[in-house]
Amino acid sequence: MLDTPRRIVVTGGAGFIGSHLVDRLLAGGHQVLCVDDFNDFYNPGVKWANIDPHRDNPRFLLAPADIRDRETIRPFIISYHPDIIVHLAARAGVRPSLTDPFLYHEVNTTGTLHLLDAAVAARVKKFVFGSSSSVYGINEKVPFSEEDPLLTPISPYAATKLAGEALCHSFAHLHRMPTVTLRFFTVYGPRQRPDLAIHKFARLILGGRPVPVFGDGTTRRDYTYIDDIIAGTLAAIDYESDPYEVFNLGNSRTVELRELIRLLEEVLGENALVDLQPLQPGDVPRTWADIKKAERLLGFRPATPIREGLAKFAEWLQNTTPETPPLGPRSV
Ligand SMILES: NC(=O)c1ccc[n+]([C@@H]2O[C@H](COP(=O)([O-])OP(=O)(O)OC[C@H]3O[C@@H](n4cnc5c(N)ncnc54)[C@H](O)[C@@H]3O)[C@@H](O)[C@H]2O)c1
């Protein structure tokens, strides 16, 4: 599907994962419509900076719009005549979803419904949905497989991603719209969201401030480097789903929190001060992706070991100003 130039909508295209995908799609000669509301979950200036290199590219179009606003989103997407929609816009993050579950529901569930509705109306050839490992919740069985039952989400964020998946399945089934759900496992790398552990910890370590460690440091995560996630996402766009498929995209190697901090110390060349805190509600004890299905059907092979990925992240961070100066919107 990506052999020939396509018209592709990327929602959340100014965010961490979305902006990397936009870079790759434009480099591949495709046309991209980036839909993003530049909200202040983190500094919107960072998001403007993420897409700034493309602003003069005639194949790049920006719709600074909120996916909750169906009256704006629907006609905009239909009139763009996209071949493909990659839906990544969401309120991300587990902990803030505990304090504002309604916002998470509106953006992640209702917003996804708006995108699916527009995709059907625009007769797209492929819909790709960015879901999360958090849908596995407190699943006892590891590694997490796409075959596992999914009824144990433990945060509103996870529940809204699960709802989004269910909507994708029903729309794919009812409208025969080829649809792929991707369950991302803790993604890291340059431009990573500042609220995520690796980015947050690294800044604290560099600033000589204590790193809050929730629990005893034995929780485990399957950290996945951004380039591997983008390779898997591009393969998913090309995958002929009939009509619906779901894939885990993870590194399939778990790293203990204590080990992560040790590796960060190594790549940053600084010691961490650790501040032990109680486990946070909503946090799952471990994530671990079974990626056999993605390997078999997408040719997905994560190529970045954690030490190497952290070193690349550290290099990016040390060459980035702590607060990217907010860039204003430019009309497009
Ligand atoms: N980063 C991870 O580790 C990870 C893991 C699992 C799943 N995911 C999912 O991947 C996707 C991208 O995550 P990310 O880490 O790049 O987050 P991000 O916050 O950097 O990117 C999301 C983008 O969506 C935009 N957005 C949010 N609400 C919107 C709205 N109402 N209308 C339009 N745009 C809106 C934001 O402004 C942001 O630019 C999300 O769906 C997230 O749930 C991420």
Using alpha carbons, list the distances in angstroms from residue 80 to 22, 58, 267, 281, 285.
Answer: 16, 14, 44, 42, 43
Looking at residues 298-325, what average pLDDT do you find? 90
188 CA distance to ligand 1 centroid (A)?
13
Q: Which architecture, in CATH terms, is 7-188+223-252+288-304?
A: 3-Layer(aba) Sandwich (3.40)
Q: Is the CB of 68 under 6 A from ligand 1?
A: yes
Name the phi and psi angles at 286, rounded to 5: -160, 155
271 CA distance to ligand 1 centroid (A)?
A: 31
**146 CB-side CA count, 13 A:** 19
Whether the full predicted model's pTM is greater than 0.95, yes or no, is: yes
Quote the ligand 1 centre to 158 CA distance (angstroms): 13
Tell me if residue 87 falls in helix, strand or coil. Answer: strand
Does the C-beta of 46 come closer than 6 Å to ligand 1?
no
Mean predicted confidence (pLDDT) in 77-86: 98
DSSP letters, 183-215, are: EE--EESTT--TTSHHHHHHHHHHTT-PEEEES
Query: What is the residue extent of each domain of the chain?
Result: 7-188+223-252+288-304
pLDDT of 207 above 90 = yes
Q: What's the whole-number average pLDDT of the chain?
A: 94
Using CA atoms, how far apart are residues 35 and 77, in angstroms rounded to an integer? Answer: 9
pLDDT at 328 over 80: no
d(CA 3, CA 7): 12
For ligand 1, say whether the CB of 261 is within 6 Å of any of its atoms. Answer: no
Cβ of 107 less than 6 Å from ligand 1: yes
Q: pLDDT of 266-284, one tens digit each?
A: 999 999 999 999 988 878 8
Task: Tell me which residue has its CA closest to atom 20 in ligand 1.
Answer: 15
- Please give the distance, rounded to the nearest whole angstrom, from the Cα atom of residue 270 to the centre of ligand 1: 30
Active site residues: 157
Mutate to test the pocket of ligand 1, among 11, 20, 85, 184 (most ligand atoms within 8 A of CB): 184
Q: What is the pLDDT of residues 99-155, one digit of tens each?
A: 999 999 999 999 999 999 999 999 999 999 999 999 999 888 999 999 998 878 999
Question: Which ligand 1 atom minimizes the distance to the CA of 19?
Answer: 16
The share of the chain scoring above pLDDT 70, in percent, equals 97
